[in-house]
A and B are shown apart, each in its own frame.
Chain A
Amino acid sequence: MKKLLNKVVSVALAGAMVLSMTACGSSASTAETAPAESAAAGTEAAAETTAATGDPLKITLCVGRTNDMSFQQSAYEGVMKVQELYPDQVEVNVVEMTDDTTKWEAAFYDAADAGADIIMGTGFQNLDNFTNIPQEYPDTKFILFDQGLDFEANELPNVMGVLFDSNQSGFLAGAVAAYYTQNENAANPDKTLGFVGAMEIVTITDFLVGYAEGARYVDPDMQIKTAYVGDFVDTAKAKDQSKAQIADGADIIFQVAGGAGTGVIEAASEVDGVMAIGVDADQYETMEDPALKEAVITSSLKRLDNAIVKIIGDYLADPASVGFGSNVTYGMEDDAVGIVFNDKLTESIGEENVANVQAILEKIKSGEITVDKASELTSDEINAIVAGE
């Protein structure tokens, strides 16, 4: 996979290099002669490429890094799928901007200047970038995942915010957890569940709210222990926190902690009868270590990749069908959220409970069950929901 990326990237870089070659001779502040480089000329160039039929659609995804074991990775996989599905119609470019967010804005400008037709980014860190930059590049389309934009205060017809019903994924995870913890496979009969998040931010607490409500939907007596790692990378800390939750009687822990979440799965794998619930992707599949694999009972999904494939497919069929100028929410019907049903889950909670979870899923789809959204709650209200008050 990496080699493939390298190839794609190096082709793109070679192009960029030829352009910047011409620039390096002249002083930096003067506009370059190459057409697609300078900011002023960039918009025209972008307009031309979109207008000229036959040219592939240039898609640039800018993420901090492509292997965060979380939604950035999912976005990366999405654009790679798009490239595979439409090899002649799109030209995908992936830019890794590093974890230093002060360098991100320049990367988006570079992408826009290089003549990308659609620029994608992820996360709340990009709110300002996706509010300011698109206004300078009206002919370039911008898609921001996992963060809504304020379309009332800003004129942003070329931007789309893509949100996910991750509270629904969380609800299903909560139901699974509640069934598991009372099961004979579980380490203890306690009705205690664990949750380890990366940070107390809406994209994560959205899962938590659903988790708590889902668990109590099955059994109102469920108690939930929560802990936050403080970042997306500290595996050791996540493991410590999980161990403490396990010592407190939790025998199933839901991790929404990006790369640090591996620590949660590791902690679960070390104690008999303790399981972890993965997040974003099917972590039973993505974990390479067999011991870790077996500790993943299911995963609560947020599939940016499916959303990207759908958006680009729609866009290629009819650009007007994609909801630019608004926030769009992707949910169960788009296969963007949900939960993994596999043999591991059946083995762990039994066929009957799997059927129950499936019934809950149908009820959410039909609207019979509504799940609260963290974005509409204050942090006190979220704490109250988690505490079961």
Chain B
Amino acid sequence: MEMFLKLDFWFTVFRCATPVLFATMAAMIADRSGILNLGMEGAMAIASLSGVLASGFSGNLLVGGFVGLFCGTLFTMILAYFIMNMKANQVIAGIAMNLAASGGSIFALYSITGDKNTSNSIQSKAFPSVEIPVLKDIPVLGDILSGHNVLTYLAFILAIVLFIVLKKTKFGFKVRAVGESPEAAESVGIKVHRVRYQTMFLSGLLASFGGIYMSMGYINRWTAGMIAGRGYIALATNAMAAGNSLLGMFASLLYGFGSSIAIYLQNMNMDPYMVTMIPYLAIIVFYVLFSLYYRHKNKQHESL
């Protein structure tokens, strides 16, 4: 239990939560407009790779970040096009896009650089960590909350922004209206297609932030399979949060907590495979508990 007393343990919780929080928000905004965006895993992979490549070739961090966000968002917009205009089943279309992204990113890396699986020959840039003035001087709290990557702070700020946008703004109202009943929204003059394209755009952008954080913050290179299911985990954290991005923050931190435990337990010579199960187990257990709670709350009994 002594690991809980280590400040770095809690620091790690935030570090691990960041990409999942971005993806959770990505899932949430699409979900709220009535689209199940399964393509976040792929968008993150594409964004993380293109960010690394662009920052490596240009030598400029911001160019890398921008290209990463652009490619990941474009990827999501293609998915949106297939779902909305081509009327593809959203689950299957998402799967197809992820499949293409997971292999396509490895293929692209090899074709462009000659590297297989890891971008070792690219000198890519990373987003810096920042010390928060005042906060960093507070004992304990400063050690845990200060000194994180800029993108970590951005994620948590965006979670609050998203909460406000969905709850208080006209756009948020439109999104929710479209998600709850597209027909009704249409009848009051809301352009369902346009709103959904807008939310998919934002969803792609948020997922791409998660992607570039992985390869330009969390670590400073791209590795095949580095997204490691975080895009899927976000489906669970989003389901737990039920459209509330503050709850999404909590759910992401829960994942971060599980991951941090897994990392620390391994250093105590626990079996690595046993330990790796912890974050996934935590997500499943809490997701099931939350589902029970929501079901109880809604008293909606669906017999399958």
Contact = CB atoms under 8 A, between A and B. Distances in A.
Interface of A: 2, 65-67, 69, 96, 99, 200, 225-230, 233-237, 239-241, 243-248, 259-260, 262-263, 266, 288-289, 383, 387
Interface in B227-280: 228, 259, 263-264, 266-267, 269, 272-273, 276
A240 B118 contact: no
A229 B12 CA distance: 17
A260 B123 CA distance: 17
Contact of B221 (A66, A99, A200, A262): A262
Contacts of B120: 67, 69, 259, 262, 288
Contacts of A225: 267
A197 B144 CA distance: 28
A248 B264 CA distance: 9
B226 interface: yes
Contacts of B272: 200, 227-230
14 contacts: A65-B117, A67-B114, A225-B267, A230-B276, A233-B223, A234-B226, A235-B221, A235-B226, A236-B223, A236-B226, A244-B264, A247-B6, A248-B6, A266-B220
Contacts, number: 94
B267 A245 contact: yes
B215 to A, nearest CB: 9
Contacts of A69: 118, 120
B266 A247 contact: no
Contacts of B273: 230
Given A234-B226, A236-B218, A241-B266, 7 more contacts: A69-B118, A225-B267, A227-B267, A235-B219, A236-B223, A247-B9, A259-B120
A239 B219 contact: yes
B228 A241 contact: no
Given A228-B272, A230-B272, A236 B219 contact: yes
Interface in B162-215: 214
A200 B223 CA distance: 21
Nearest to B227: A236
Nearest to A250: B267
A240 B221 contact: no
Contacts of B114: 2, 67
B8 interface: yes
B131 interface: no
Contacts of A227: 266-267, 272
B224 interface: yes
A248 B226 CA distance: 25
A233 B224 contact: yes
